[in-house]
Each structure stands twice: as C-alpha cells, then as structure tokens.
Amino acid sequence: MTYACDIGNGQQLLVQNDGDDTQVAMSSGDSGQQQSQSTGFTTGGRSRLPELFRTSENLVLRLESKRGAVCPRPRAKRRIRLG
C-alpha cells in the first residue's frame, strides 16, 4: 500500500510497503517536469500506519514494524498521519 503526503512547495512524500521492504520517495514539480528521489530499506511488516513529523527544520518519518520503531519519535509541534 502506498501513502502520500503533500509537504509543501509542490513536493510530495510517498511511502510504499511491500512485504518486508519499504520504499520512500520524494517528488516535486508538475507532470511535465517531475523530479523524484527514492530509497529503500528492509523494515519488516509494518504494525501501524506511518507517521510524518515536521520539526522546525526537518521532516522525520516514523515506521513501526513488529520488531519495533524504525526511528525514534521526535518531539514535534505538528504530526501528520499518512493514510
């Protein structure tokens, strides 16, 4: 399943889970000149929906699998639930 979040400035963050693998991509631009960057890693099957946190300077993606959280929960003023 793919989750998408508009993060502003014409950019979108996409998170896709396929079995034990997770792909994270950021895309920007319109359909005529779209650019994207992506990375993949093994997380195991997810046990809850991904969460995106916006801090004053960064975005932090939290993924939780049956093995536990993939990244620590940051202290953030605004939390964006994908889905």
- Cα–Cα distance for residue pair 60/34, rounded to 1 Å: 23
The better pLDDT of the pair 80, 57 is held by 57
Q: What is the pTM (predicted TM-score) of this model?
A: 0.69
Give the whole-number percent of the chain exceeding pLDDT 90.
Answer: 0
Other C-beta atoms within 10 Å of 27: how many? Answer: 15
Q: What is the pLDDT of residue 33?
A: 73
Sorted by where each begins, the domain ranges of the chain are 2-81
Q: pLDDT, tens digit, for every residue of 28-48?
A: 876 677 778 877 877 777 788
- Cα–Cα distance for residue pair 12/10, rounded to 1 Å: 7
By CB neighbour count within 10 A (0-12 exposed, 13-18 middle, 19+ buried), where does 15 fall? buried
